[in-house]
Amino acid sequence: MVSDVLHIMSDLRGGGVSQVLRERGKSTWLAAVSHPMVRQIGDGTLPHPTFRRYFEQNVPYLMDYARAIGLIIGKAPDMVAIGVLTRFLGQIVGTEIPANLAFLQRLGGTAEADGDPAPMLPTTYAYTRHLLCVAAQGSCADGLAAVLPCQWSYGEFAGPLMASLPSDPVYADWISMFGADGYGSLVGETTGLLDRLACAADDAALNRLTSIFDISTGYESQFWDMVYGTPPRGDR
């Protein structure tokens, strides 16, 4: 127990509260960033129908993810925080949702920007309800702890994959969206904002943030499981 506390305090000095949350849920985090589906995307062997199913669920997920960030912006304490969160929201609405629709179309799915997204499967629904609930009822720091695992984990696994992109252009283009320097810089801004807003000395607050962060990280793995383990709708 003492060694755990010393380890956490060392992380606080080196990287802030965000690193503490990641370290406390290390096993859950590693399960998300090293999921078999992620590995198959990295080597270009994932079947296209499985990746299409991912986008069918990720489009409605990202729509609610954007709504959650919007709720968090409303609780931002100052202009610096508003700026960081607005750039975060712009990445989702201006880049990722259009890109997801384009990928879906490339993979043979229906991708109408003004149309209804595919119905959410239970994991997608549960994950988005978690995000929206925390963003609506919690503090700005609480909301950040909920939405960060998605943004942060994608940057973490995509960065190393940039060194050897798969030959399949669909997978190479998708990895490049998250492995680019600009994406990593935005992750640095959002994690830095959480570090500034969260009080490391408040044990109750830190425990609450840990729980929120872990739930979201767990849903990241469950999202991969949902897509990877179930046949796409059109192939049933």
Whole-angstrom distance, CA of residue 155 vs CA of residue 186: 10
User: Which of 56, 96, 140, 220 is an active site residue?
Assistant: 220
Which tokens belong to 53? 């199913």
**Contact criterion met (CB below 8 Å) for 79 and 146:** no
DSSP for 162-225, written as a single string:
GGG--SSHHHHHHHHHHHSHHHHHHHHHHHHHHHHHS-TT-HHHHHHHHHHHHHHHHHHHHHHH
Pair 202, 13: CB distance under 8 Å: no
Selecting among 150, 156, 189, 199, the annotated active-site residue is 150
Four-CA torsion 180, 54, 143, 18, nearest 10 degrees? -50
Catalytic residue check, 220: yes
Please give the positions annotated as active site: 150, 220
